[in-house]
Amino acid sequence: MTPLDDLPVDWTLSGTAARRDTYYAASQHKFVPFREPMVFRRGQGQYLWDEAGRKYTDLLGMNVCISVGHSHPTVVGAAMKQAAELTHCTTMFYHPVPAHLAEELAQTMPKGPDGDLEWVVHFTNSGSEAIDLAMVMARSYTGNLDLLALRNSYHGPTSAAQSLTGIAGFRHPGMPGNVAFVAEPNQYRGVFGPGTAPYLDEIERTIATATTGRVAGIFVESVQGYGGIIEMPPGYMSGAAERVRAAGGLYIADEVQSGFGRTGAHMWGFEADGVIPDIVVMAKGIGNGFPLGAVVAQKRIAAPMAEKFMFHTYGANPTACAAGRAVLQVLREERLQENAAAVGGALLARLRDLQQKHKAIGDVRGRGLMLAIEMVKDRKTREPDPETTAAVFEACRDSALILSKSGPTRSTLRMVPPLCLSLDDVDQVAEGLDRAFSSLA
């Protein structure tokens, strides 16, 4: 018997709900999307089982944290082996496992036209800590204070990360300032319509009017996640980098959702546009559920940070980093990026078929295993339809599908499953969604 078996666990839904209601802070109460809460007991690959043993297909990947599959034996094995030997090692002592992971992550970065770009890594505990650090790094390197972010973005819950977040529902009082927002280049409902150029002009205009004229950088999710899977159109990322660099700033890619092969065509979402970021922020899929984040920066950009002490207690934790190394290994060995491209392409085609059939679906978009359908009341006016979205979302549960309501009006169903989703699953997902839409009619 393991010591864990000695601790009583009440697996009932009612018991868990009562404890959460009594002991969780109000700040965590809102984050329960289903009308009836759920307790998950087990996961394997792309599937989850609730406390009553019912099986679900997980199209949410526990909020994009599960990259290579739930409880993947290679990842769990690597972490358990490390935890049993030395669970934690503070960064003032040297440990080879985080050092190996730093090397392996740096090797995934672009080499640059002359093949001589050098990349370095600072591990954190989470994505928002990594965002905070990237903000400090950009300001330290450039000596400028003003940052640009995109409307409709999400960069995390810490005060600083919230200050970059462009959706009111995620912004709380007391955020630091010096962030100017530019319109996101949403090709379906963006304020400047489809295209890239007007959104790049908007960056220039914002630098000229809402900053001192000199900026520390721009943060861009290579594909906006919580914003409802908004892809950056061709030329946007590279064009944004050009304009921001002309004002003294850096280009910071937030790959917390779009990284680790999720978009199918590339390991990193920014690669779709050929841009070479100055700083890349990653988390979630990096640890397949183990808490880990990282800022990967060009060596010269990170250098000024040596002046001062910057310490994340659990950053470079060897157990989480052992999991991170295993994730990279599994991605490679199981060819999961290629799988994301193939299975994501097949799912996208089925979603487009559903769009033909169900008029509530205004838009279908995304790439790889980062997909979304957006619901509208009228295809001409494109008025968002959060009510139908909520109803389909609930009905999907009856079809044993877990996904998420996203976007500023919560009228988008976001699909970001573990990258091992299979072609067989695609049939089940498409049929389940079809049933969910049909049940509303």
Q: Which residues bind ligand PLP (CB under 6 A)?
A: 126-128, 131, 154-156, 221, 225-226, 254, 256-257, 283, 293
Cα(285)–Cα(288) distance, integer angstroms: 5
DSSP 174-190: T----EEEE----TTT-
Chain centroid offset of residue 184 CA: 17
Q: Which residues contact 4 (CB under 8 A, 6 or more apart)?
A: none
Among the residues of 152-234, which ranges form H helices? 159-163, 197-210
- Beta carbon nearer to ligand PLP, 254 or 363: 254
Q: How far is the CB of 131 from ligand PLP (least distance, A)?
A: 5
Q: How far is the CB of 209 from ligand PLP (least distance, A)?
A: 27
Residue number with CB closer to ligand PLP (226 or 270): 226
Least gap, CB of 258 to ligand PLP (angstroms)? 8
Q: How far apart are CA 279 and CA 269, in angstroms?
A: 13
- Between 149 and 351, CB nearer to ligand PLP: 149
d(CA 147, CA 220): 11
In this structure, which long-range contacts are made by residues 167-176, counting pairs with CB atoms below 8 Å and at least 24 apart in sequence? 167/226, 167/227, 167/408, 168/408, 169/408, 170/226
Give the E-state strand segments of 45-97 in sequence order.
47-50, 55-58
Task: Find, among 66, 420, 410, 372, the residue nearest to 223 by Cα.
Answer: 372
Cβ at position 154, least distance to ligand PLP in Å:
5
Please identify, using beta-carbon distances, which residue of 160 and 426 lies nearer to ligand PLP. Answer: 160
Please give the residue whose beta carbon sits closest to ligand PLP in the complex.
127
**Nearer to ligand PLP by C-beta: 56 or 154?**
154
Nearest-approach distance from CB 404 to ligand PLP, in angstroms: 11
Distance CA 210, CA 77 (A): 51
Q: How far is the CB of 415 from ligand PLP (least distance, A)?
A: 15
Query: Which lies closer to ligand PLP via its Cβ, residue 62 or residue 117?
Result: 62
- In the complex with ligand PLP, the residue whose CB is nearer, 155 or 405, is 155
Q: Min. distance of Cβ 163 from ligand PLP in angstroms?
A: 13
d(CA 104, CA 97): 11
